[in-house]
Structure 1
Amino acid sequence: MIAGLTTVAVAAGQVGRIWRRGRAPLPSETEELLPAAQEAVTETVELAVAGYQDVSPRETATFNLLASFVLTFVSVRTVAWKLRGRDHVGPFRNFVIGRRHIHHFVPGILIAFGSGAAAIVTRDEKLEPKLAIPFGAGMGLTLDESALLLELEDVYWSPEGVLGVQISLAVTALLGTLILGVRFIRRGERVLAVGDGDGAEPPATPAEREPPAASPAPG
């Protein structure tokens, strides 16, 4: 709950800041408030995308890892809650082999190990941001059942399984994602500010303004 409110507050704060400084008309300047708000949101997204594309591959990989971890963690916890007392929820169902329930930390470990090993073997900076997505998803699948791994019994819906390590990790990852997202917006502002120049030539330096020295007359 606190993490969700923090996310909304940070996002609203960034939209408000861009609204005050951007091209969208302020509420005091227009009667069409909804279109102005939509324009401010669109401009904020454009700045975030521009900043995301301009940062280093390491920062992009970090953001992808944290974002995929948070999304996977929340999605898996929601689906697991929906599956309580049901056979399936849409395409999702409990996976059972014989009488053994296969928990989702098993594919999580495989996904995380596979993508991590691929990143180590390839050592390709352009590939690392893409591999960070399945790595974060694998972490989310695995750490969602961290209490089960620690207790060696199914405590998924007990207080030990709901609280503790899982929530703290999710909140930490969410806050890290928010921090990087704000950095992307700030970087995007600088990138687009440079790109929106009028195309004029930069002013000449003092050395360029000085006339060339006259060559000595031939004797």
Structure 2
Amino acid sequence: MTAAAPGYNANAALPKRIRHHYLYSFQDTRRERLFLSSIGFDVGAISARVITHLIRRGIGPFHNLSRNGRHLHHLVFGIGGLLATGYLWLVIADDAEQQKTIHRATSFAYGVGAALTLDEFALWLELEDVYWTEQGKVSVQALMIFGGLLSIGVWGGPFLKATAKEMAPKTSPA
């Protein structure tokens, strides 16, 4: 990968080399969006699961949210995130260079919103809170299926491979 990446400088600082691999690996905007959505999805799914377990055990500053005595499930925030990113994508549909930061942020936010929503997929099916029951396992299955579709390994493979090479200890010729 490093030999094929034009402009690669093996003597540059590690962050610059990784940035080079990122820019080279994600010249295709769609590929970059899928990769960032994958990362957002993984961050959202892991965060939702960790925080709900902490809430259930009464650990840390986290607690259930409610409004007017009604529990707010995290899928509400996921749906809000999906609606917001969808709207922003409609508004900024062009691929203008100045829009790259917005495209990247909304791709990540889309992944987080999808994770928060799918983490409570069983609630969609059962129309009741079955998060901690056997029926709640369907939410984990939905996360796995959708997460697989956004797979970081598939969409970000060349970048991740190049980054792993950069991070690996250098061996001296004997």
Same fold (TM over 0.5): yes
Q: Report the 3-state secondary structure (helix = DSSP H, G, I; strand = E; otherwise coil) of the residue aligned with 1:123.
A: coil
Identify the residue that residue 56 of structure 2 maps to in structure 1: 84
Identify the residue that residue 128 of structure 1 maps to in structure 2: 103
Structure 1: any 5+ residue segments left out of the alignment? 1-22, 24-41, 190-219
Question: Does the 8 Å CA contact 1:73/1:170 hold for their aligned counterparts?
Answer: no
Question: Does the 8 Å CA contact 1:50/1:187 hold for their aligned counterparts?
Answer: no
Residue 159 of structure 1 is aligned with which of 126, 134, 138?
Answer: 134
Residue 119 of structure 2 is aligned with which of 112, 119, 144?
Answer: 144
- Bigger Rg over Cα: 1
- Using the TM superposition, give the Cα deviation of residue 120 of structure 1 relative to its aligned residue in structure 2, in angstroms: 1.5
Identify the residue that residue 170 of structure 2 maps to in structure 1: none
**C-alpha separation between the residues in 2 aligned to 1:85 and 1:53?**
42
Q: TM-score, normalised by structure 1?
A: 0.58
Structure 1 segments, 4+ long, off by >4 Å, are 45-48, 185-189
- Using the TM superposition, give the Cα deviation of residue 171 of structure 1 relative to its aligned residue in structure 2, in angstroms: 5.0
Shift in CA distance, 186/83, structure 1 to aligned 2, threshold 3 Å:
closer
Identify the residue that residue 172 of structure 1 maps to in structure 2: 148
Q: How does 1:99-138 map to 2 (within 5 A)?
A: 99-125=69-95, 126=100, 127-138=102-113
**C-alpha separation between the residues in 2 aligned to 1:124 and 1:62?**
17
Question: Does the 8 Å CA contact 1:76/1:141 hold for their aligned counterparts?
Answer: yes
Q: What percent identity do the matched residue pairs reach?
A: 28
CA-to-aligned-CA distance 1:30-53 (integer Å, 9 cap, x gap): xxxxxxxxxxxx96x765532322
Structure 2: any 5+ residue segments left out of the alignment? 1-9, 165-174
Q: TM-score, normalised by structure 2?
A: 0.71
Q: Report the 3-state secondary structure (helix = DSSP H, G, I; strand = E; otherwise coil) of the residue aligned with 1:89.
A: coil
Question: Does the 8 Å CA contact 2:82/2:114 hold for their aligned counterparts?
Answer: yes
Q: How does 1:25-44 map to 2 (within 5 A)?
A: none
**C-alpha separation between the residues in 1 aligned to 2:70 and 2:79?**
18
CA-to-aligned-CA distance 1:186-207 (integer Å, 9 cap, x gap): 5779xxxxxxxxxxxxxxxxxx
Q: How does 1:175-214 map to 2 (within 5 A)?
A: 176-185=151-160
Question: Does the 8 Å CA contact 1:51/1:186 hold for their aligned counterparts?
Answer: no
CA-to-aligned-CA distance 1:102-155 (integer Å, 9 cap, x gap): 101111101111111111221133232221011111111111001111110101
1:93 has 2:69 as partner: no
